[in-house]
Homo-oligomer: A and B are copies of this chain.
Amino acid sequence: MKYIVLHEPLNYDGSQLQSLFSYKNFGLMGDSMSIFRGTCRVEQNEMVDIEDVLAQDWIYSEDMLHFIVEHFEMDLEKTIIRQRLLIATIKEELEKLGVTTLRRSGDDLYEEDKKLSVSISTLSPVSTLIHCGLNVSNKNTPIPTTGLEDLRIQDVLSFGESVAKHYCAEVTSMRLARCKVRGVQ
């Protein structure tokens, strides 16, 4: 599994959550993760979470760190478990940088009642996909939020890369863990 960190800004509008995004744009073949920074604004017709659509929620952030993950397997529940693990990994990487005030609730991260993250998993015709966005700034968000700036993360992209490194390594280690046990009765 490969990742790429984009050093140019890229705004997320939902259309990045499509199959082969990382391959088409950055040449990453196979399971992959793209990390980039930019605004987040997803209109209703690009929303994937029908719960949000029904609730007429909208998603907006002036500055976010984005992760787009693609797994070339079709079991969406499996990718949702991976998504939760990704959120746990983000929290763990923040702990290494001294941030110990976060709690994970499903696929969300909070500091008290301020939300740090948005995240969704879905199916494409050929793969499963995850988007996770972490607020950098907490300005002008539709609900109370915190941002990586508030958590004193200096180098946002380099933090993103450390998450990617750990997530990709864990995907590999889980694949191998499957290959060294005998069955039981």
State the A residues within 8 Å of B (CB): 17-20, 23-24, 27, 29-31, 48-51, 54, 72, 74-78, 80-82, 84-85, 88, 92, 95-96, 100, 103-104, 106-107, 120-127, 129, 170, 173-185
Contact = CB atoms under 8 A, between A and B. Distances in A.
Given A100-B100, A123-B126, A176-B29, A181 B75 contact: no
Given A24-B54, A30-B176, A85-B85, A182 B76 contact: no
Given A77-B175, A81-B85, A84-B174, A20 B182 contact: yes
A113 to B, nearest CB: 16
A170 B17 contact: no
A171 to B, nearest CB: 9
Given A29-B176, A75-B75, A182 B81 contact: no
A184 B124 contact: yes
Nearest to A54: B24
Contacts of A50: 20, 23-24, 180-182
A148 B20 CA distance: 35
Contacts of A54: 24, 27
